[in-house]
Structure 1
């Protein structure tokens, strides 16, 4: 009799466990790329463009403001991002207008009429996706790289960062292509680091000299509203 009672208790326990809903869930990480009307971010940019006559350096402030939104025929909301430049952070000149929208689990930023899949959700280190999936350019696999600490970005007040690696070709005899963008939870893009260079490998004044390319360093200096 005791044995039958124990079996009944055991079966009741198993059935109760089967009825328990799963608590396992994955945080998508949408707040690494928040999008709100009126939101702005201001950056300090140092850019060097290389050509036949060497490098041309420019330094300026860049402001990005979400100024408006549009609803497409399929109900997708696209946000307009006004991008303005200034050399003194007082007088601003409109440079371009980009758009931002989330399509399924991809965040798309259209830069100068070219859409790029900037982020994929959920945000998990090692996740890979085609950044050119929505444009006509060749496949370019982006991936997430987790970052535990960024002491030079402590002033942002953020503690969680993730880095998107766009390309990671280290310097060689022909070229160098290392591009990354760093995002902070609750803020968005806080740092952009692009180095895309082509080196001279034949019939040059100096072997390995830079023939063409760009170095871009973009760092957040202000943002709001939270």
Structure 2
């Protein structure tokens, strides 16, 4: 999502246009999440997040980086409130997003099916393999079908006692259209609850694109 100019990237060869960028480009997401705690009623939330690409700056390594302004509101009837400021950077070989102070490599270029890399190469969270899937395939989000997308699959583990899943879908000329994060711990305290998918604690969060454009 980074270039040295403010114009959107449209080069279809390496796949840069799966992560277009220009100052003022925005995406609005419907977000649903569930949080679980031991011996407590699950907490369910729905809200909206608006991400706007801001002005570029030069980081400490001399790379052009764009601010990613993130606004939040509980419903379309309420006003947007600034939630956080992230950052996004795109080089010839990778798309990098800094989220809550942690940099992640979301996409590697040029894109191709089954391409793998360490998404945590620039942070201290430990190695995590990301893999490209379904490059150029359609993907439906709510009532909209995007004809050309790619899917980035991160950790995707499911056992009798836990589930971890991270998945992000990018659409050509749009950017992120769907994102899912799951981190659940199932009951394992007694033999009778193992394998029943009874959740002790964790969270599930899903982003679905609602609207996008350029201010």
- Match for 1:50 among 36, 60, 63? 36
State how far apart, in whole Å, the 2-side matches of 1:106 and 1:154 are.
30
Counterpart for residue 130 of structure 2: 142
Tell me the matched-pair count: 199
2:213 corresponds to 1:224: yes
Cα RMSD (Å): 2.1
Structure with bigger helix share is 1
Counterpart for residue 179 of structure 2: 192
Cα distance per residue 1:100-150 (max 9 Å; x no partner): 012441111000000000110011110000000000111101000116332
2:22 corresponds to 1:36: yes
Q: How much does 1:74 deviate?
A: 4.2
1:31 counterpart SS class:
helix
Q: How much does 1:93 deviate?
A: 1.3
Cα distance per residue 1:70-118 (max 9 Å; x no partner): 1135431111111111122241111111000124411110000000001
Cα distance per residue 1:163-204 (max 9 Å; x no partner): 00011213x211011220000000000001222111121149
Structure with bigger strand share is 2
Structure 1 residue runs without a partner (length 5+): 1-25
2:99 corresponds to 1:111: yes
TM-score, normalized by length of structure 1? 0.81
Q: How much does 1:50 deviate?
A: 1.1
2:147 counterpart SS class:
coil
Farther-moved stretch of structure 1 (109-118 vs 99-108):
99-108
C-alpha change, 1:224 and 1:188, in structure 2 (3 Å) is same
1:85-104 alignment, distance < 5 Å: 85-89=72-76, 90-104=78-92
- Match for 2:57 among 70, 75, 85? 70
1:170-185 alignment, distance < 5 Å: 170=158, 172-185=159-172
C-alpha change, 1:152 and 1:65, in structure 2 (3 Å) is closer
State which structure, 1 or 2, has the greater radius of gyration over its C-alpha atoms: 1
TM-score, normalized by length of structure 2? 0.85
- Match for 2:113 among 104, 125, 137? 125
Structure 2 residue runs without a partner (length 5+): 1-11
